[in-house]
Homo-oligomer: A and B are copies of this chain.
Amino acid sequence: RQYFVNADDTVPEKVVVQKNSPRGVHFRRAGPRQRVYFEPEDVKACIVTCGGLCPGLNTVIRELVCGLSHMYNVNDVFGIQNGYKGFYSSNYLPMTPKSVNDIHKRGGTVLGSSRGGHDTHKIVDNIQDRGINQVYIIGGDGTQKGAYEIFKEIRRRGLKVAVAGIPKTIDNDIAVIDKSFGFDTAVEEAQRAIDAAHVEASSAENGIGLVKLMGRYSGFIAMYATLASRDVDCCLIPESPFYLEGEGGLFEYIERRLKENNHMVIVVAEGAGQDLIAKSIPVADQLDASGNKLLLDVGLWLTHKIKDHCKSKKMEMTIKYIDPTYMIRAIPSNASDNVYCTLLAHSAIHGAMAGYSFTVGMVNGRHAYIPFHRVTSTRNKVKITDRMWARLLSSTNQPSFLSKEDIMEAREAERLANRLPVPASSSEHTKKHSASVLSNG
């Protein structure tokens, strides 16, 4: 009773078009193919989760195991434990529909995860030695880069192995795709922290509630949580630089809001204001175990700065700082993310069975197979000259912290990025060479 996708179906990257727009980049549509590359009885699949926690990880794992079994009768499936390193340093965990039956009701990942370096060659050695021919890799930006390296090494060795990346980022900062799984759940849960901040702030004289949310390079969670709540007076994100002192600065705005309204709520993405902190606290750049630049805690820093400022102005105030990060990351996915995780897992399975290697994702509402390099070469960011951010500014009434020149410059940059035609041949090339190793081989 399977319904097959026409092998020629494509999904365009850009859906808003004018009359004579060029055709633009298109991706292969995801879905079951009439002809599959692997015989089910030959498939030996493995699943790995890398990086920080995100709601929905266990649902994706569950649906990969159940989908392989129910849709293709593939039952040789293993879990790699504790991230990439687990390929060569831990036991492979056999997984069955029964063993994963209830895991989607729990947060976290039953496979464990880790950050930090790994050895691509040792990974591929193990894939080769154990006869694995489908590798499902769930992880963020860095993890998808790693998947691409594994894929290239596999191709170099001429192995018949499909590599399927399933992008995971609670920050929603992966390029090309509409939305990453777990994002809706995270925004929902972030409301709880904002509600608490609002209650704390409004139960005190000159009360300020400050909430730090996830968002290393992209402020999507902060922006959506602010839009979904209506109690936020100021939202600070990495994409929109801000300053503290002087006209149009944050301190001036805080003073004004407290005067007008007696209390306020500030939401700050963890990656916001890093340049300001770097200036105020001269710290050498640091890298965490995964090679990511360590962020200084903008929430604590801002709390102290605001306190100091108010003290210097002899304003009595109370500030309450809430960091709900781990309480957000660790919850199970909500119903809408659950369905999304299921569809992603199924799309990944269909693609791998068809012999493709790719990152799977929803593009303009349709599931598609995206070449690895497209999702890793750039990052999804909030466009601060775009309407969504304009909506936020109008709903919070916060200052834009931008000069007129800043705006013109940002618009021009976006215009260039958006409007320049991508030659059709490049899109063709993409599809032929990256998104399908085996079936065209």
* CB contact between A12 and one of B17, B322, B386, B394 (< 8 Å): that residue: B17
- Report which of B2, B32, B326 forms a contact with A320, defined as CB distance below 8 A: B326
Is the CB–CB distance between A230 and B327 below 8 Å?
A: no
Chain A interface (Cβ < 8 Å from any Cβ of B): 1-3, 6, 8-12, 15-19, 26, 29, 31-32, 53, 62, 66, 70-71, 82, 101-102, 104, 106-110, 112-114, 178, 184, 187-188, 190-193, 195-197, 199-200, 202-205, 209, 224-225, 227-230, 320-324, 326-327, 329-331, 334-336, 338-339, 342-343, 346, 364-366, 385-387, 390-391, 393-395, 400, 407
Closest Cβ of chain B to A121, distance in Å, is 22
A26 closest partner in B (C-beta): B17
> Cβ of A114 and Cβ of B204 under 8 Å apart?
yes
The answer to whether A334 and B331 touch across the interface, beta carbons within 8 angstroms, is no
Pick from B19, B108, B197, B321: contact of A8, CB below 8 A.
Answer: B19
Known contacts A6-B18, A8-B19, A9-B17, then 11 further A-B pairs from the complex at CB < 8 Å, ordered by chain A residue: A3-B385, A10-B16, A10-B17, A10-B18, A16-B29, A53-B199, A110-B203, A113-B204, A187-B339, A192-B327, A209-B326
A327-B193, A336-B187, A393-B1 known; A342 vs B199 contact (CB < 8 Å): no
Q: How many Å lie between the Cα of A3 and that of B5 in the bound state?
A: 38
Contacting residues, chain B, for A200 (C-beta < 8 A): 53, 108, 326, 329-330
**Are A224's CB and B112's CB within 8 A?**
no
Contact of A335 among B1, B71, B228, B342 (CB under 8 A): B228
Closest residue of chain B to A30 (Cβ to Cβ) is: B387
Contacts of A205 in B (CB 8 A): 82, 112, 114
Given contacts A104-B230, A324-B327, A326-B322, contact A391 B335 (CB under 8 A): no
Q: Whole-angstrom distance between the alpha carbons of A407 and B321 in the complex?
A: 39
Inter-chain contacts of A66 with B (CB < 8 A): 395
**Contact at A197–B326, with CB atoms within 8 Å?**
yes
Cα of A46 to Cα of B218 in the assembled complex, Å: 38
Determine if A1 and B407 form an interchain contact, defined as CB atoms under 8 angstroms apart. Answer: yes
User: How far is A343 from B394 in the complex, measured between Cα atoms in Å?
Assistant: 13
The interface residues of chain B lying within 8 Å CB-to-CB of A191 are 335
By beta carbon, the residue of chain B nearest A322 is B326
Can you offer 18 A-B residue contacts whose CB atoms are under 8 A?
A3-B385, A9-B16, A11-B15, A11-B16, A12-B15, A16-B29, A53-B203, A62-B230, A66-B395, A102-B230, A112-B203, A113-B203, A188-B336, A195-B330, A200-B329, A224-B335, A324-B327, A342-B395
Alpha-carbon distance between A11 and B364 when the two chains are bound, in angstroms:
11
- Cβ contacts under 8 Å, A106 to chain B: 199
Contacts of A188 in B (CB 8 A): 334-336
- B113:A224 contact, CB within 8 angstroms: no
Interface hub of A187, A390, A391 (most chain B Cβ within 10 A): A391
Q: Shortest distance in angstroms between A35's beta carbon and chain B's nearest beta carbon? A: 17
4 residue pairs, one from A and one from B, having the closest CB atoms? A108-B203, A199-B330, A228-B335, A196-B330
Which residues of B lie under 8 Å from residue A338 when comparing CB positions?
Answer: 227-229
Residues of B within 8 A of A346 (CB): 391
Contact B15 A366 (CB under 8 A): yes
Q: In the docked arrangement, what's the CA distance between A32 and B323, Å?
A: 36
How far is the CB of A165 from the nearest CB of chain B, in Å?
20
* Distance from A389 Cβ to chain B, minimum over Cβ atoms (Å): 9
B residues in contact with A15, CB < 8 Å: 11-12, 15, 364-366
Closest to A70 in B: B394
* Docked complex Cα distance between A339 and B107 (Å): 24
Contacts of A10 in B (CB 8 A): 16-18
Chain B's closest residue to A5 (CB) is: B387
| Inter-chain contact A230/B3, CB cutoff 8 Å | no
